[in-house]
Structure 1
Amino acid sequence: MLETKEKNTLLKKIIAIVLGFGPGIFAIGYTIGTGSVTSMIVAGSKFNMQLLWVLLISCLFSGVLMFAYGNYALITGETALYGFKKHFKQGKVLAILIIVGITFGQWNSLMGILGISSNIIYEILAINFEGLSAFKYETVLVTAIVIIVVFYLLMLVGKYTFFEKILVIFVSLMGVSFILSLCFVQPLSVDVVKGLIPTIPDVPGGKMLVAAFVGTTMASATFLSRPLFVKGKGWTIKNLGQQKKDSITAAILIFIISGVIMAVAAGALFYQGKEVTQVLDMANTLEPVAGKWAVTIFFFGALSAGLSSIFPCLLIAPLLIADYQSGDIDTNSKQFRIITFIACLVALIGPVFGANPIEIQILSQVFNVFVLPLVVLGIIMIVNSKRIMKGYKTSLFVNIGLYASLLFALIISYNGILALFEYF
């Protein structure tokens, strides 16, 4: 009886910790979607753990940027784009460029996310109902329509806490699923260590994957939306310490979950000389090693990653526009409903044309890097203005991190341009 009580208490504590997670859960939702999963799996299958260093640096800079944007919001009470427009001479132009760039990247990503999620559901159904294989296109399309309609209807509920709780569930399921998958297959320890030494694979598609890695891990949407989610949480200047912990926790969890996904792909695919080109490739090679149960766990993790990203991707355009207009978002407004409806229609383009969602996803992540330098430059200017920050001085460590982030973002953007020239 006592044992049962102790177990219940422990379970309650774990649930409380998970549900107590702050705005960082949105950072994980934005960052580890099917874009990240796809990039990590393709990288792991092609290059083993060689790109682990890119992931580590991206997560380190992501933590610094989340912290800087969150602090700015708590100290000034303002959101990012509204602040750019209000405080800088060319702030309106900067803000509009950022809105267009991020919306383009996120809506492209949404196409890939919906395509991959629908394909995963189809593959799970096809395992159990063999007759479905003749109707792949129709099944995937109908599944995509059902998913996006359900998510649009959930969007109309329009409460921050509601979105947060749903994301907590999906992100938790995703993390557990991929960690369980790692129990079946692991890369060699020496390859993990080698992966921390900076090198870019000198093969076709190497530059593309590096850019995609940064595009998905250092996601501009994550940083720009942070002030809105910090405000949505009800945090004030009294929560500066909590905001710092939340940023660090989010960055660490992003690194761990993403690293685990890459490790699973390296262990299951790279050593067998197999690469990922289709959705089913992601899990099929686990089957000989661990059976259909492992395939189901892996698919479940990838599906949770996809579903955890749909909310943030649908939210991004209305969030940014509301941010630009006033710094506040009304999820019950007509503007919010129209913009999210347009995003839902855009999401269906990939499934309607039967495009390969893996390619769409990686390309969309590459496009995300081009707006990143503007987002980093904007926050550097803001947090170093004593007038805007009301006398609060940004530490030397944070400034070093921000300037290093800017340099890294510029290098990766240049790398992304080269990658796109190679691709097209």
Structure 2
Amino acid sequence: MSKFIAVILGFGPGIFAIGYTVGTGSVTSMIVAGSRFGMQLLWVLFLSCFFSGILMHAYGNFSLISGETALNAFKKHLKFGKPLAILIIIGIVFGQWNSLMGILGLSSNIIYEILVLNFDGLEGYKYEIVLAIAVVILAAFYFLMLVGQYTFFEKILVVFVTIMGASFMFSLFFVQPLPLDVVKGLMPSIPDVPGGQMLVAAFVGTTMAAATFLSRPLFLKGKGWDSSNLKEQKKDSIIAAVLIFLVSGIIMAVATGALFYNGKEVTQVLDMANTLEPVAGKWASTLFFFGTLSAGLSSIFPILLIAPLLLGDYQSGDIDTSSNRFKIITGVACLVGLIGPIMGANPIQLQILSQVFNVFVLPAVILGIILMLKNDKVMKGYKTSLFVYVGLYAALAFSIVISYNGVMALIG
């Protein structure tokens, strides 16, 4: 057990990629898609994770070899780098803070539903209790942000991500999709129903999160890695991408087995809570709930960090977690996160919509790293492999198609 814990705690900066990616946005998208379409969108998940692995690897190599961070390098070395970097910051912060509203709403609702299962007298006070829980969660995380450093954040995320993965893996023992449906899910097709395009865009928005790639150089820097850690960086990228695919795929598979085959769809948080109850009873349902809650909590840390990280990257290329600016910006993010619970918005719908917004800045983030890798001066003569370039151009084309798809979905 001590060796197992040592392995888990030894996980590298890729843990932040999982924290950004497999949050309640991913859980919500996977459960809603699994309940409505079974495994039909598995191909979207596979492509998104494949391209995510390549992008993490590309941004990591760029950082370790050049010694620079992404936005600061865009500003210094690209002709239109300054407006591009500012546009990226605005787009990512807008998408991530929107996502925080949904995450906080879902996490608070999950805790409320668990409390209601044990205390019947709480049913008439849902709005007040959910809002109070949201305030307590944000206050706790804000306090931890003020006292923590990189290694502290990393260990907290490891705990949440481990609990989340174990919970969903255990849930899969109770319900499984048909093997034929899994194979069919790897064949490209978009559900020809209202909301099908929206879910495809949400899938990409949550699994190819631009924040994951842009923040990677900063987290590598915080880890203390340099050009001697290229092999570890590559391995870390691959492991992170594989784990994102496995955990997300398992969530979709559980929703397929428990809901899709029974003709049930997810529209409210309580529907997510009851995903496993028909076949496994309240114990498994509570465990699944706990995994979803861990997914939400594992996303709050990275989202609160994203705005000060990107601004620090743009200005100096450093992580700064002790300045007054850091405290103010994370405080503003907390207040923005409370908007969803205060409005009493449906966190399921809010979360899917926020993931759609995340895809629009993705083409700029991919184009930026392609231009950086081609700059011999920045890369100090290092030659990026043909496989990585092919993957990056394919990812760029994929992101443009998905962004167009997202625009059509929002118009629709």
**Do the two structures share a fold, i.e. TM-score over 0.5?**
yes
Superposed CA deviations along residues 122-155 of structure 1, whole A, max 9, x for unmatched, are 0000000011111111110000000000000000
Deviation of 1:286 (Å): 1.7
CA drift of 1:24 comes to: 0.1
How much has 1:89 moved relative to structure 2?
1.4
**In 2, Cα distance between the equivalents of 1:244 and 1:107?**
29
| Residue aligning to 2:222 | 232
Asked if the contact 1:185–1:267 (Cα under 8 Å) also holds between the matched residues in 2, the reply is yes
Q: TM-score when scaled to structure 1?
A: 0.97
Q: 1:165 aligns with which of 130, 149, 155?
A: 155
Quote how far apart the aligned CAs of 1:385 are: 1.3
Question: Deviation per CA, 1:105-131, whole angstroms, max 9, x where unpaired?
Answer: 000000000000000000000000011
Matching residue within 31, 46, 50 for 1:56: 46
Query: Offset at 1:378?
Result: 0.1
Q: Distance in 1 between matches of 2:128 and 2:389?
A: 52
Which residue matches 2:272? 282
Residue in 2 aligned with 1:357? 347
Aligned mate of 2:178, from 188, 195, 207: 188
Q: Is the CA contact (8 Å cut-off) linking 1:43 and 1:262 kept in structure 2?
A: yes
CA distance in 2, matches of 1:53, 1:329: 36
Matched, 1:98 2:96: no
Counterpart mapping for 1:18-167 below 5 A: 18-167=8-157
Question: Is residue 2:293 matched to residue 1:295?
Answer: no
Q: Distance in 2 between matches of 1:213 and 1:373?
A: 16
CA distance in 2, matches of 1:284, 1:265: 10
Indicate whether 1:200 and 2:178 are aligned. no
Separation in 1, partners of 2:179, 2:307: 42
Paired residues of 2:201 and 2:406 also in contact (CA < 8 A):
yes
Q: Which residue is equivalent to 1:3?
A: none
Kept in 1: contact 2:84–2:364 (CA 8 A): yes
State the match for 1:305 in structure 2.
295
List aligned pairs for 1:359-378, cutoff 5 A.
359-378=349-368
Q: Which amino acid aligns with 1:305?
A: A
Q: Could you report, residue by residue, the CA deviation over 1:59-97 in whole angstroms, capped at 9, with x for unpaired residues?
A: 000000000000111001110000000101110000000
- Secondary structure of residue in 2 paired with 1:364: helix
Count of aligned pairs between the two proteins? 412
* 2:261 maps to 1:271: yes
SS of the residue 1:280 aligns to: helix
Residue type at the aligned position of 2:123 = S
Counterpart amino acid of residue 57 in structure 1: L
Partner amino acid, structure 2, of 1:43 = A
- 2:322 is the counterpart of 1:332: yes
| 1: CA distance, partners of 2:188 / 2:244 | 20
Q: Which amino acid aligns with 2:191?
A: P
For residue 388 of structure 1, report the CA deviation from its aligned partner: 1.0
Distance 1:144 1:181 in 2: 27
The whole-number CA distance in structure 2 between the counterparts of 1:139 and 1:212 is 29
Query: SS in structure 2 opposite 1:387?
Result: helix
Equivalent residues of 1:376, 1:405 under 8 A apart:
yes
CA distance in 1, matches of 2:369, 2:276: 43
Counterpart of 1:370 in 2: which secondary structure? Answer: coil
- 1:348 maps to which residue? 338
Distance, in Å, in 2 between the alignment partners of 1:181 and 1:332 is 40
Cα offset for 1:157? 1.3
Q: Report the secondary structure of 2:377's partner residue.
A: coil
Query: What fraction of aligned residue pairs are identical, expressed as a percent?
Result: 75
Give the letter for the 2:341 counterpart.
P
- 3-state SS of 1:184 partner: coil
Paired residues of 1:158 and 1:332 also in contact (CA < 8 A): no
TM-score where L is the length of structure 2: 0.99
SS of the equivalent of 1:50 reads coil
RMSD: 0.5
Cα distance, 1:283 vs structure 2: 2.4
**Per-residue Cα deviation, 1:282-319 (whole angstroms, up to 9, x for no partner):** 12142121100011100000000000000000000000
Is the contact made by 2:255 and 2:275 (CA closer than 8 Å) also made in structure 1?
Answer: no
Instruction: For residue 142 of structure 1, give the secondary structure of its aligned residue in structure 2.
Output: helix
Verify: 1:382 aligned to 2:351, yes or no.
Answer: no
Structure 1 residue aligned with 2:245: 255
Partners of 2:60 and 2:319 in 1: CA distance: 17
Cα separation, 1, equivalents of 2:192 and 2:296: 30
Deviations 1:336-375 (A, max 9, x none): 0000000000000000111000011000000000000000
CA deviation profile, 1:148-184 (whole Å, cap 9, x unmatched):
0000000001300000000000000000000111111
Contact map agreement 1:80 1:224 (CA 8 A) in 2: yes
Q: CA deviation at 1:46?
A: 0.4
Give the distance between the partners of 1:79 and 1:371, measured in 2 at CA: 18
